[in-house]
Structure 1
Amino acid sequence: MTNLDKANLRAYNQRLNQNKFKKPEEVIGYMSAMQAQEYAYAKWAIGLRMQSPADKTVEKAMTTGSILRTHVLRPTWHFVLPQDIRWMLSLTAPRINAGNATMYRKQEVTEAIFNKSFDVFTKAMQGGKQLARAEIAKALNEANIATDDLRLTIILMKAELEQLICSGARQGKQFTYALFDERAPMTPVIDRDEAVARLVLRYFTSHGPATINDFVHWSGLTVADAKAGTEENKQQLHGINVDGVNYWMGTDVDFSKVKKTGAYLLPVYDELLISYKNRDAMVPAKFRDKMGAITFFPTIMFNNQVLGNWGRSIGKKTIDIELKPFGNLTKAQNDAIETAAHRFKKFNGLSQ
């Protein structure tokens, strides 16, 4: 299995070029969690995996709570389904809280302050009220809880991890928070081993071929967790050893349908790149010195290989796309990228 084989299989398993989904929640359910701190771009990441993508469709899913946005892996913002959020947070929150402990102490946010803050949240949001950050800060300040520096961010994240709050509908361009129990249905409790096995299977099915270290990078869990989960799912995973490194993916892969043609304008932090510790499969050797630009900026892909970066400027009736290739583009590449740009514009409501 060559690097190009890995890249082609990853694009295939991530549904970028086959078997696309009808609804945003189907995308998230399959992918399990999708990185989402750059919200506008993150909506496009969902759109890339849909049959008839539209920004307004993804936004509606956020508004209705069909998909939620919270801190659940590593930690950073991710889209996740309401029916998955409880078991995922129960699995990942202990490690995130342990990693955040130094920050909690540095900002002098004690357990007493957290508990007092949580009482404020419960009283302010009960009955379906959804509050923006400024409104939450005001409520906390009125309760003599300081929100300067990073304290508000810390308190909000801790409340997410404790399954007290999660994303609400947006108010204009403002994000809101809602009470967790009012947005996420109660689901059966599963033990930690089952949760690990479930997350491992979903990751390798939707992101494979990938390694144990890739899963650890994506999930924030341990190598021991990854190995235990892989062993539990060994009948449902296909393993390939390449130069002494084991790669895993789901067994239901039709190799005759794995495609390498076409172009994508990937958003920043798209799962095709960000969900692997080692991204060499998607980055030609001559461009690996540009890994910082590849990681932190939107990326042009052609035949599942990185060609450069891109940016967009969105007006009321226009979208200007600026290409920043790392080298000269061929006519075939330019034509394919133009088609990809048209898809992005259509997603954002433009006919041309």
Structure 2
Amino acid sequence: MPIGKRSPTPAVIGRLRLANQGLLGGKRASVPEAVRWMTAMQAQDLGHALWAVGQRVAGPGASEVRAALDAGTVVRSWPMRGTLHLVAPEDLRWMLGITSGRLLQSLRTRHRELNITPDDISHARDVALETIATLSRDTEAAGVSREQLFAAFEEAGQVTKAQRGIHLIACLCQEASLVQGPMAGSKGNAGVQQLFVPFDQWIRDSRAVDREPGIAEWFLRYIHSHGPATVRDFAWWTQVPLSEARAALSAVQNQLVELPFGDASYWMSQETAAMLDDGVPGARSVLALPGFDEFLLGYQDRSLVLAPEYAELVVPGKNGVFKRIIVAGGGVVGTWARTGTGKSAGVVPEPFTGTLGPSAERSFLAQARAYLKFMES
């Protein structure tokens, strides 16, 4: 369904995305509900991921997100792009069924360099599951740490140096033999690592979704939570082949609205399109979002919300490490940093143009206070 001749600005598209991601009011009632709505949330830096969830849920603290990981109502794994994401537990297996084959194929050269064969992966699986079973029986441990798995691999003759160990673990997670489970330690005590547990013991109820309808569902959920977005955005985000992404669009196109912009077609839900008639919220909004937030990382083309001349200020040296971002009126206008720890912790804004302006600065400081309170609760 086309939307006609309306042609919004990049800032309006940015605000529509903020609204769909639950960042302009309409926050979700619980951590699992927020993660399920987003379908997947980038989470290679767990501290940043905690705040990403916190910005989308009404009134939680970081401890509630950790509790969801401890309870298994949210899981953290590598469902796509070889990157850690938070997902709903019932979705992980079918997502892996769509993405893992292509990912593992892309790693064949690296696995040859590391001398990882299918027999090695099978052996590592047996060692890992036996190690977990033994420690659970002898010590009532909830799972095993990466270091414990590495030690068991080494004892069994599987070298773990030069990233070989983490590739073995990743293979076991890609095939749904293992998954990251409860936190390895309490808040303030190694609380950024998780224990590895058997997949089927941790996730008891997995949905069965075939590939073609699965990609169609994934695309529809992506557009509802991330739109307006393009088919190429989705194909990059999931690493689903573009031909299959286009087929998914064809399957659900009657449920979506097309927004021509520039040289591309952006897709959004009918509810999102209605905002263009009723007024898009957030023109004066100021948000302190974490690094790696889906508002920026959820799209192949980020130039709509981040001017190219400022991109390297967000990713210094193009090293893949994204700084925390300040978003005002639907666009990225700066970065921010946390300073100190405990009672001396603070937040420092780093706007691209040197100043936020009085009103925006007051809004940012309110966000900073909310962030510090969240991380301590």
Q: Secondary structure at the match of 2:184?
A: coil
Partner of 2:18: 11
Alignment partner of 1:308 is 2:334? yes
Distance 2:168 2:307 in 1: 42
Q: Which has the higher contact order (CA 8 A, sep 6+)?
A: 2
Partner of 1:50: 57
Range moving further from structure 2, 111-120 or 213-222: 213-222
- Structure 1 ranges of 4+ moved more than 6 A: none
Give the 5 Å matches for 1:54-93.
54-93=61-100
What's the CA shift for 1:288? 4.9
TM-score by length of 2: 0.89
Alignment partner of 1:24 is 2:31? yes
Pick from 284, 306, 323 the counterpart of residue 297 of structure 1.
323
Distance 1:101 1:257 in 2: 50
Alignment partner of 1:325 is 2:351? yes
Distance 2:25 2:245 in 1: 28
Pick from 153, 159, 176 the counterpart of residue 140 of structure 1.
153
Partner of 2:3: none
Pick from 276, 289, 301 the counterpart of residue 299 of structure 2.
276
What's the CA shift for 1:284? 4.2
Does the CA contact (< 8 Å) of 1:141 and 1:147 recur in 2? yes
Does the CA contact (< 8 Å) of 1:72 and 1:93 recur in 2? yes
Does the CA contact (< 8 Å) of 1:67 and 1:82 recur in 2? yes
Distance 2:114 2:169 in 1: 14
Unpaired segments ≥5 residues, structure 2: 1-7
Length, aligned pairs only = 350
Distance 2:340 2:218 in 1: 36
Does the CA contact (< 8 Å) of 1:85 and 1:184 recur in 2? no
Amino acid at match of 1:281: L
Give the 5 Å matches for 1:1-352.
1-126=8-133, 129-172=142-185, 173=190, 174-253=193-272, 254-255=274-275, 256=278, 258-260=280-282, 261-284=284-307, 287-288=310-311, 290=313, 292-293=315-316, 296-327=322-353, 328-349=355-376
Distance 1:171 1:75 in 2: 22
Does the CA contact (< 8 Å) of 2:93 and 2:207 recur in 1? no
Distance 2:13 2:146 in 1: 42
Distance 1:46 1:340 in 2: 14
TM-score by length of 1: 0.95
Unpaired segments ≥5 residues, structure 1: none
What's the CA shift for 1:248? 0.5
Distance 2:39 2:153 in 1: 33
Distance 2:262 2:338 in 1: 40
What's the CA shift for 1:277? 1.2
What's the CA shift for 1:28? 0.9
